[in-house]
Amino acid sequence: MAKSPFLESIASYMQVRNYSKRTIAAYLYWIKYFIVFCGKQHPRELGSVDIERFLTFLAVERHVSPSTQAVALNALVFLKTKFLSQSIEPLEHFQRANRQRKLPVVLTQEEVKMLLGQLAGVHYLMGGLLYGSGLRRIELVRLRVKDVDFDFKQVRVMFGKGGKHRIVTMAKELVEPLRKHLKQVTFYHQQDIANPAFAGVWMPDALARKYPNATKSLNWQYFFPASRLSIDAASGLIRRHHYDETSVNKQIKRAAKMAGIQKEVSCHTLRHSFATHLLQSGADIRTVQEQLGHSDVKTTEIYTHVLKQGAQGVRSPLSNL
């Protein structure tokens, strides 16, 4: 179903201002939902009371998480104050989502070893970086060649969650396999450059303007590129996109199943395990916070709660019998 002209204009407004594709998609989803919820009235005619009613509906009827409700709130505040240039009254009278946050699923080091043992080639490298560097799945697939620093054994995460940059560690065991993988990336790049239809890799508009020749340079190509060229839906140009992130998750889940791991495993499980194992080895929580890219150390403290569970934190009275 095609978007309405109104939603298209919002998307264009956000694209010009360099909002990420994910943020644009999320905001459009919640703005459209809000408009439908309010009987398809124009948002100019809707106010704080309507927004509060919608947010309460999400918490009470949809049972969304606090983070999901916060995204919906941000989308509607953006709509009214930024896009429509309208003022709104403080939003205080709505039911806040209060779903209790779950403790993260964490693998033992032996389980991680078994899982990685089921992966080979590029999938092993991806799994190794998810666990060994604590990367988010989207951060992994968006890595560019220039972001992998072999000399200092580190990875630069550019425009991570919240648009923040950070530097994370890279296991020395991955250096040579990653160097070997880079040869394949270089081969793809040479083929692409020889193709007259190749428009270069996608880059944010601001960077594309600042570095007009970078789209075809090796340094800016994705470190984990797709296996074939494709048409960029936004521009219609032929590019080589990055490896599909949903495929990464499928590979990790398959490997966990093959390894006989009974826990619910995803890419994020390896990130949780990275943080927990760092703390287990004596790393300072502030260091772990920086490696994960958390704005607030309270977010990182969830992993200390994991360590306090079971035999690592509380001795069962049964053991005294």
The 3-state DSSP class for residue 171 equals: coil
CA dist., res. 39 & res. 20, Å (int) = 29
- Sign for the CA dihedral angle at 124, 125, 127, 128 comes to positive
DSSP per residue over 228-291, as a string? S-EE-TTT--EE--BPPHHHHHHHHHHHHHHTT--S---HHHHHHHHHHHHHHTT--HHHHHHH
Place of tokens 């560097």: 133
Residues classed as catalytic: 136, 161, 268, 271, 294, 303
DSSP 150: T
The 3-state DSSP class for residue 156 equals: strand
User: Is residue 240 within 8 Å of residue 222, measured between CB atoms?
Assistant: yes
Place of tokens 């521009």: 235
